[in-house]
A and B are shown apart, each in its own frame.
Chain A
Amino acid sequence: MTIASDAPTPTMDSEELRRARLARIQLVAKWTLPVIVMALTLLAWHLYVTINEVPHYILPSPAMVFQTMFTDWGLLSAAAWVTTKLSLYALALAVIGGVALAVLFTQSKWAEMSFFPYAVILQVTPVIAVAPLIQIYVDSAFAAALICAWIVAFFPILSNTTIGLKSADHNLRDLFTIYGATRWQRLIFLDIPSALPFFLGGLKIAGGLALIGAVVAEFVIGRSGTGLGLASTLLEASYRYNFARLYAALFLISGLGIMIFAATSLISHLSLRKWHESALNRES
């Protein structure tokens, strides 16, 4: 696909028509197939529960879950809002902290040598083991949970961005040297654009991890009656054998995860679509 090559005048022969039709069908199938699978699963679930008369404290029917979603909407939406805020704040702080540290690391070898091991320690220590400690020292349950979620989300941003900032083409580096670029110019015009695809890869991972961190933190911290977000609600519902509410909370958590993934993917696509290989739509 180049501008230079003289493309032969497009004539739609039967082969091409067939291929175009196949592409159209695939596009439709991409959306309809998952929806059909979902509908069939819900139907099977519903039939299983009604035919076997499974009691709702063992497995509620999907209809009941959706009904609970409506009747408990006040409680559930408040909880969902808390979890959403937790995840997004954690992600935002992870981006700020991760990028700032990555820039610091690439600008100063000494800083990298001094602090990188601690970033790794922070990453490899299971957050579930640290959470109770944080809860002791931080009064606000929300702040404590936020710190936990941040710890989980920040490492992929840091490590990806650090690699990205070092990934600029070596000939371009030489060119910048030849043209007498300052350190600042090198960072802004070369290293940061080169790092962008790596950073965005890290962002996608961190988005998912921020939610996981939030859920883990809520399980540990929200337990003591602080009533944090969706995960606390889920846990509480399980204590009360309110399985319909448990499932409703679970669906909302999944939905939140899907939304975060879609949003980070969209951001990534929009930032890279003009130039990066990963975002190109090549004609085969």
Chain B
Amino acid sequence: MQAPLPLGSRPPVLRMSAVDKVFGADIVALKGMQLDVNQGDFISLLGPSGCGKSTALRLIAGLMTPTTGRIEWSGGTGQGDLGVVFQEPTLMPWTTVAKNVALPFRLRGKSGAEVADAIRNALDLVGLSGFENAYPRELSGGMKMRVSIARALVTNPRLILMDEPFAALDEITRFKLNNDLLDLKTKTGCTVIFVTHSVFESVFLSDRIVVMAARPGRVIRTLEVDEPYPRAEAFRTTPEYAAHCRAASDALHDAMGIAA
């Protein structure tokens, strides 16, 4: 378990500076996006539908290029090692859990004992030991999402992108996965950008909440949730939690007021 560094002193991972993304002639999906991601950050992008959250993730993932502005990875020119979790589990139904998790290695031509260890370790972290040979269809929605998370972290990437990963799950499963995700963050010290519509989820999980507004998509406020990790379930009932939720909720209302 790595002790999390205080907010100000973490080494940088990635910087987005003045990024605009325009689709077609006049759809401004993102305007002047500024974001510094440091090692060990858990950043939530919170905002109404259409404010460019997914667009920001796709830009970072290198699936699109910014219209103007720059996205720079620290310590190198190329794109860093990434893990991605989508809203759907996005598993290959024709193969087993272990082989799904092995995909990032397979595509890079890596195999062997180290890879097998990494896969076992990742499945262990998400609580799916023993399901190596199951097919996705044999799993519940929550378990499929766990496989997807295992696949994202199996390479021990510099950054994990999550686009509303729990939005399609029921609330009980969602809470459980929230807790487990925090556990996992504490154990691995991974860096995460997490897109969500939920104020509660963003406060519970993240140490920074980036609130965005739509038309044009932009950042309107950044809130810090300076509560130490690990955060237990009990955090959800503290006055601090309530205060952060109110602040985030107010910011979100502003965002929607501006957008409307």
Q: Is B61 an interface residue when CB atoms closer than 8 A count as contact?
A: yes
Given known pairs A3-B143, A178-B82, A178-B84, the reply for A275 and B94 (CB within 8 Å) is yes
Are B61 and A174 in contact, CB atoms less than 8 angstroms apart? yes
Number of interface residues of B (CB under 8 A): 28
Q: Is B9 an interface residue when CB atoms closer than 8 A count as contact?
A: no
Q: Which residues in A have their C-beta under 8 angstroms from that of B94?
A: 193, 196, 274-276
Given known pairs A172-B92, A178-B82, the reply for A2 and B139 (CB within 8 Å) is yes
A-contacting residues, B43-59, CB 8 Å: 58
Stretch at the interface among B32-40, B101-109, B192-200, B223-231: B101-109
Q: Is A175 an interface residue when CB atoms closer than 8 A count as contact?
A: yes
B58 — nearest CB in chain A belongs to which residue?
Answer: A174
Q: Pick the most buried of A3, A171, A185, A196: most chain B CB atoms within 10 A of its CB.
A: A171
Q: Which residues in B have their C-beta under 8 angstroms from that of A274?
A: 94, 135
Given known pairs A2-B140, A178-B62, A185-B107, the reply for A276 and B93 (CB within 8 Å) is yes
Are B61 and A179 in contact, CB atoms less than 8 angstroms apart? no
Q: Which residues in A have their C-beta under 8 angstroms from that of B143?
A: 2-4
Are B61 and A178 in contact, CB atoms less than 8 angstroms apart? yes
Are A179 and B63 in contact, CB atoms less than 8 angstroms apart? no
Q: How far is the CA of A277 from the CA of B139 in the complex (A)?
A: 14
Q: How far is the CA of A181 from the CA of B84 in the complex (A)?
A: 15
B63 — nearest CB in chain A belongs to which residue?
Answer: A174
Q: Is A176 an interface residue when CB atoms closer than 8 A count as contact?
A: yes
B-contacting residues, A242-284, CB 8 Å: 274-277, 280
Q: Which residues in B have their C-beta under 8 angstroms from that of A114?
A: none
Complex partner residue of B136 from A4, A174, A190, A275, CB under 8 angstroms: A275
A-contacting residues, B85-130, CB 8 Å: 86, 88, 90, 92-95, 103-104, 106-108
Are B136 and A3 in contact, CB atoms less than 8 angstroms apart? no
CB distance from A48 to the nearest CB of B (A): 52
B-contacting residues, A187-242, CB 8 Å: 189-190, 193, 196
Q: Pick the most buried of A169, A174, A175, A193: most chain B CB atoms within 10 A of its CB.
A: A175
B134 — nearest CB in chain A belongs to which residue?
Answer: A3
Q: Is A5 an interface residue when CB atoms closer than 8 A count as contact?
A: yes
A3 — nearest CB in chain B belongs to which residue?
Answer: B138
Q: Which residues in B have their C-beta under 8 angstroms from that of A171?
A: 86, 88, 90
Q: Is A55 an interface residue when CB atoms closer than 8 A count as contact?
A: no
Are A5 and B140 in contact, CB atoms less than 8 angstroms apart? yes
Are B104 and A179 in contact, CB atoms less than 8 angstroms apart? yes
Q: Which residues in B have their C-beta under 8 angstroms from that of A74?
A: none
Q: Is B142 an interface residue when CB atoms closer than 8 A count as contact?
A: yes
CB distance from B129 to the nearest CB of A (A): 13
Q: Is B253 an interface residue when CB atoms closer than 8 A count as contact?
A: no
Given known pairs A4-B140, A180-B108, the reply for A275 and B135 (CB within 8 Å) is yes
Q: How far is the CA of A180 from the CA of B107 in the complex (A)?
A: 7
CB distance from A147 to the nearest CB of B (A): 35
Number of interface residues of A (CB under 8 A): 25
A271 — nearest CB in chain B belongs to which residue?
Answer: B94
CB distance from A36 to the nearest CB of B (A): 37
Given known pairs A2-B139, A3-B143, A178-B84, the reply for A189 and B107 (CB within 8 Å) is yes
A-contacting residues, B140-175, CB 8 Å: 140, 142-143
Q: Is A41 an interface residue when CB atoms closer than 8 A count as contact?
A: no
Q: How far is the CA of A133 from the CA of B140 in the complex (A)?
A: 59
CB distance from B173 to the nearest CB of A (A): 9
Are A181 and B135 in contact, CB atoms less than 8 angstroms apart? no
Q: Is B246 an interface residue when CB atoms closer than 8 A count as contact?
A: no
Are B103 and A175 in contact, CB atoms less than 8 angstroms apart? yes
Q: Is A177 an interface residue when CB atoms closer than 8 A count as contact?
A: yes
Q: Is B137 an interface residue when CB atoms closer than 8 A count as contact?
A: yes
Q: How far is the CA of A5 from the CA of B140 in the complex (A)?
A: 8
A272 — nearest CB in chain B belongs to which residue?
Answer: B94
How would residues 1 to 34 of chain A score, 1 for a CB under 8 Å from any chain B CB and 0 otherwise?
0111100000000000000000000000000000
Q: Which residues in A have their C-beta under 8 angstroms from that of B108?
A: 179-180
Q: How far is the CA of A2 from the CA of B146 in the complex (A)?
A: 15
Chain A residues at the B interface, C-beta cutoff of 8 Å: 2-5, 169, 171-172, 174-181, 185, 189-190, 193, 196, 274-277, 280
Excluding A178-B61, A274-B94, 15 further A-B contacts by CB distance (< 8 Å) are A2-B138, A3-B134, A3-B140, A4-B143, A5-B140, A169-B90, A174-B58, A178-B63, A179-B103, A189-B92, A189-B103, A189-B106, A193-B94, A275-B135, A276-B93
Closest 4 CB pairs of A and B: A4-B140, A2-B140, A171-B90, A179-B107
A and B contact pairs by CB, cutoff 8 A, 23 listed: A2-B140, A3-B143, A4-B142, A5-B140, A169-B90, A171-B86, A174-B58, A174-B61, A178-B84, A179-B103, A179-B104, A180-B108, A185-B107, A189-B92, A190-B92, A193-B94, A193-B95, A274-B94, A274-B135, A275-B135, A275-B136, A277-B137, A280-B137
Chain B residues at the A interface, C-beta cutoff of 8 Å: 58, 61-63, 82, 84, 86, 88, 90, 92-95, 103-104, 106-108, 131, 134-140, 142-143
